[in-house]
Structures are given as C-alpha cells and as structure tokens.
A = this chain, B = another copy of it.
Amino acid sequence: MNGAESLVYTLIACGIDTVFANPGTSEMHFVAALDRIPGIDCVLCLDETVASGAADAFWRVSGRPAATLLHCGPGLANALANLHNARRGRSGIVNIVGDQATYHRPLDAPLTADTEGWARPISGFVRTATSAATVGRDAADAVAAAKTGTIATLILPADTAWTEGGVAGAPRIVPARPVPDVSTIASVADVLRSGAPTMLLLGGRTLNDATLRLATAIAVAMDAKLLAEMFNARMERGRGRPPIERIPYQIDAAIESLVGIKHLILVEAKPPVGFFAYPGKPGQLWPEDCTVQTLAAIDQNGSVALAALAEALGAGAVEIAVTPPPAAATGAIGAEAVAASLASLLPENAIVVDEGISFGRGFSRFTHGAAPHVWMQVPGGAIGGGLPLAVGAAVAAAGSGRRVVAIQADGSAMYSIAALWTAARRKLDLTIIIIANHKYEILLQEFAGVGATPGRTALNMLDLGNPNLDFVKLAEGMGVMAAQASSMVALNELLANSFDRSGPFLIELLTI
C-alpha cells in the first residue's frame, strides 16, 4: 500500500465519501488510488473555487465533511476565497492539497509556492505529510479536526503519496461540543429576569427549527428581542417555523436594530459589528450602555444551552403562528415580487442558496410563508460563493428529492461561473435565478454613500453593461438548460417548470 492508498482507505474509514476535485500532476498518485479503491464519489470541478465552495455546502446540508482535492500552491490559492466563507460559516472541510515531492521542494521548481502559508489563515488544522508511513495517521487527524467544524488542510508532497509503506489511519473519537456550565445559564437567566431590554443573538448551529422554538419560547416568556446574525450558514425557516429576522446589512439599519438594548446575549454568535466601517459611524453595533454576555461561545452547543435556559426560566413551548404563503406575484419585477413568487412556489424541503447581494437583501421577511426550507448565505462575504454552494448542496441532497434554488446576483456569478458545468454533468436538481441588473448595484449604492455622483471612470468600474452578459448562452455553453424571464409571469412559469423536472435549470431574470 502506498501513501496515497493509505490516505484513501483512511478517508473512507473516517466517513468521507465525497471529494470535490480539481487535480493536477502532483496529485496523480492520489487520483490513481481513488480510482483503484472504491468508496469515494469524486466530483470534478473546473476550478478550485467551485471545489471549496461545494465542500462548504456539503457540510451545511449533510453535517459531514467532504474532502477537496486541490492542486499544489496556486490551486489552493484559487480555493481560498470560498474557504474563507467556509471558515466564517464554521464548516468542516478536509482539504487534500498536493505539493512538490519533499526532496524536490528545495529546488524551487516553477510551481513551488508557500502552500502552508496560504493555508494557515483559513485552516484550523494544517499539516504537511512527511512520509508515506504517516499519511494515514495525518488524514485521520485531519478528518477528526474537520468534524468539529473547522477546515483541516493536509498537504501531500508527491513522494509521500507514491512511496510504499502506507498505513491506514483509524477514525478518531470526536468529542461532542462543550456545553456552557450551570453558572453561565444561571447568570443569563438572571439578566432575562431583570426586565431590562434584552436581546438574544443567535448564530452557528442554533438556527434550526427545534432550537428556534426554544429561543422563541424564552423571548416570548421574558419579553426579549430575538435576532440572528447578519449572515448565516444555515437557517431552517418557512411556514410553521419560528420566523426569525437577521441583523440588517446596511449600517444604519444594523445599528437601529439594537437601539435601546441593555443586555445582549450571544448564542453561538459573535459580538455584532458593521460589515464595513463607515466614516463617523460606530463599528460595534450594540449601544454604549449595553452589556454583552455569552450564553454559548461559537464552539459550544448553544442548543443545549438554550434548552437549559428555557427550563431555568420555565419558558414552555409557544404556538408558532403559521404565515400563509403569498400568491405568486404578477406585476412589475422587483425584490418583493420575486420573494413572493419564490415563497409561493418553493417546493417543500428546498435548499435556498442566497447570493442575491443587494436585490436579495430584503427577501427574508417576504419568505416566512414559504414551504419549510433551509436558507444558506455566504457568511464570509467573499464574492462568488453562491454557485459553488449551490452545486455542493445539490450533490449532498442528490437522491433525496430536495430541490436547490440559487438566488444569484449577476456580478458575483461571474467569479465562479464554471460551477454550472458540474451542475450539468451531475444532473443536479438545481434552479438558478440570475438577478440580471447588469451592474454592481451594491457598489453603486456604496459609491452614493461616499457622497459623490459617479463619473465615467467610476461607472466603467461599477456598471456591467456594454456588453451585457447573456447568462442563457453561458449556461448553455456549459450544458445547463436556461431561459430568460422579463416578467413575473414568465419567472413564475419557469420556476414552476424547473421544480417539476429533474436536472439543473437557469433563469436569467432581467430586472431592468
């Protein structure tokens, strides 16, 4: 058994069954081992940003890490933006990154790069394998780390893959997430009993139906405010589920959402701050006279903590009002109309991937009446997360009958458009709505915030027209069926049709 084979056996033993791959020469012995040893589904992605974003979504949907197979150095670099998003969303991923053979690296061949240095900022675990004999052990450690919700990067010099003497690693026991101690629960209960204006801020894995019911029960019983973080990896939402809103993105609205709060209780959430700084505006969103207290840190189990808190407070289950589904919109194209149509037509148990940027920003409050679904955002704000996430979500959901719906801004789609090809090859049940406004609308809004009217140079950098992108042709160029919609009626029909058939479909929604 060579090192590469021991790596494959270890991955399988540790429960890895999916690899999002974009291999190169330095990974060829690993490819050969994956070929020889059955048990891992290898999903080819046409660039690394698709692979890393897909692995992120695989975790969010399945709760299990997938692996990526990345080419050495610059290959990893191409994956970093979506790994940044995955890190912010606390997803578990095992990156297998090829590298120069250990004895070849000092020769500084052209592709030699600082693979470890690039990996470190986005990884909770980084290790470069040193021999075939220890690759199996390294891989078992990497998978164990990934299962805790972190990115584990295992760098695989070519000779550690091809040399004989590999030993498969045994799965590690992964400890459960720690639970806050009793005194923390008691202290937060005291705050809530004080009657001072208090907000529960939820993030991480707490945004599921069961935990949201607990949090809602506490909020109702103690008259507290309840919000989710600004961007979240995974929210369970829809008809019959507790309708939780998020901290708004826009800085003034974000500050407004915390006005008057005296106690902020964090549950797997970070202290809320502005997405960017703006001249003359505060960076931290909570008021000066507000205390910030942690019920569950981001690596702790907030769901268990909320259950204990509800019990301490005697907060019983509350009835969740069922928001009726809106009718599909038939008037002018607009954000509220698109949200209404989506809410009306969304299939049960759908997975919505939201990189709608400015157009999609208000979708949340108009979609509480949709059939129960999961909503995924781009937690790190790195542009281009949407389509790779959609591909990974659809791979994880394949065979379950669940539909993935991507709400995708046009500008950000172009950072990872090659994702469409993988959707076509895998015949993924994926509907993509491209919001085609032919500009970086969010940046035009930000430019207005600078206090100037954009001149020709600025417009050249913020406008996407001249020529307009044709997403139908782009999709067809990668084997994905597609159509344009220039009315809500057309959008509704295309959406409904796509939900009734299998395979991917792209709708280019002309919003101007």
Name A's B-contacting residues (CB within 8 A). Answer: 21, 23-26, 28-29, 31-32, 34-36, 38, 40, 42, 44, 46-47, 49, 69, 71, 73-75, 77-78, 80-81, 84-85, 88, 100-101, 103-104, 107-111, 113-114, 117-118, 120-122, 158-159, 162, 230-231, 270-271, 273-277, 279, 283-284, 379-384, 411, 414-415, 417-418, 421, 424-425, 442-443, 446-447, 449-450, 452, 454-458, 460-462, 464, 466-474, 476-479
Q: Which B residues are in CB contact (< 8 Å) with A425?
A: 466-467
Q: Which B residues are in CB contact (< 8 Å) with A26?
A: 276
Q: Which B residues are in CB contact (< 8 Å) with A47?
A: 384, 414-415
Nearest-Cβ distance from residue A77 to partner chain B, whole angstroms: 4
Q: Apart from A80-B118, A104-B283, what are 17 other A-B pairs with CB-CB below 8 Å?
A: A25-B276, A25-B446, A32-B458, A36-B452, A46-B464, A47-B414, A77-B118, A78-B78, A78-B384, A101-B277, A107-B274, A110-B381, A113-B122, A114-B121, A414-B421, A473-B477, A474-B477
Minimum CB distance partner of A442 in chain B: B25
Q: Which B residues are in CB contact (< 8 Å) with A273?
A: 104, 107-109
Q: For the complex, what is the distance from the CA of A460 to the CA of B425, rounded to whole Å?
A: 10
User: What is the count of identical protomers in the complex?
Assistant: 2
Whether A274 and B35, one on each chain, are in contact in the complex, defined by CB atoms closer than 8 angstroms, is: no
Whether B28 and A449, one on each chain, are in contact in the complex, defined by CB atoms closer than 8 angstroms, is: yes
Minimum CB distance partner of A107 in chain B: B273
Q: Which B residues are in CB contact (< 8 Å) with A162?
A: 279, 450
Q: For the complex, what is the distance from the CA of A108 to the CA of B87, rounded to whole Å?
A: 13
Q: For the complex, what is the distance from the CA of A153 to the CA of B452, rounded to whole Å?
A: 28
Whether B81 and A77, one on each chain, are in contact in the complex, defined by CB atoms closer than 8 angstroms, is: yes
| A–B Cβ pairs within 8 angstroms, 14 of them | A24-B383, A31-B443, A31-B458, A35-B457, A74-B85, A77-B84, A78-B384, A100-B277, A103-B283, A109-B273, A110-B380, A414-B418, A470-B478, A477-B477
Q: For the complex, what is the distance from the CA of A467 to the CA of B424, rounded to whole Å?
A: 7
Q: Which B residues are in CB contact (< 8 Å) with A474?
A: 473-474, 477-478
Q: Which B residues are in CB contact (< 8 Å) with A158?
A: 276-277
Q: Which B residues are in CB contact (< 8 Å) with A71?
A: 383
Q: For the complex, what is the distance from the CA of A231 to the CA of B46, rounded to whole Å?
A: 24
